Structure 1
């Protein structure tokens, strides 16, 4: 079974072909194919490649499946003895990717 560790949108993910990956901070068009090229590690049944920092010969193709907003995150600020309180909230943008193919150049 081959898999790879990639860096995408500020986080690292372990993926293999056919996986669905939910990422925060990327907002692409639905149905569009994207190329992920920041691969840190690639492993197959008989070989292991580690990048320093990335592998240039490994390219991953993915398709944007869905876009939605995540659960609301509530942020509160508080200062003692002054009556200062502040409550904010936001919903992070989430995109679901389908990993189609891991290619070796």
Structure 2
């Protein structure tokens, strides 16, 4: 079993081959078959051989393709100042990209 821990947009994800991950990432020129490479890999397990980076591995690349792009669940921000009749209600829906992991490549 081959898996890796990769850092995408400041968050760490456990990534398996041929699995899907949801990433809070805005792809401006989105098309269903864009290929994206990630090289900020922290750890790789290659059939029992574990490689750790300091902090990243230099010879590992993860290739993904975009499957879908949508907006996430709305979070509501409500601010209120007491005794001032000031109330602000704002909402935010984060952009989410669904990615499929194609390959985890180790180059030497």
**TM bucket, shorter chain:** over 0.9
Shift of 1:69: 0.9
Q: What TM-score comes out, normalization by structure 2 length?
A: 0.91
Q: Does 1:11 align with 2:11?
A: yes
Q: Which runs of 4+ in 1 moved over 2 A?
A: none
Distance 1:85 1:25 in 2: 30
User: Hey, what does 2:22 align to over in structure 1?
Assistant: 22
Aligned to 2:88: 86
Match of 1:98 in 2: 100
What TM-score comes out, normalization by structure 1 length? Answer: 0.94
Root-mean-square deviation (CA), in Å? Answer: 1.1
CA deviation profile, 1:32-85 (whole Å, cap 9, x unmatched): 101110000011223111111100111110001100111111111011121111
Asked whether the 8 Å contact 1:60–1:103 carries over to 2, the reply is yes
5+ residue gaps, structure 2, are none
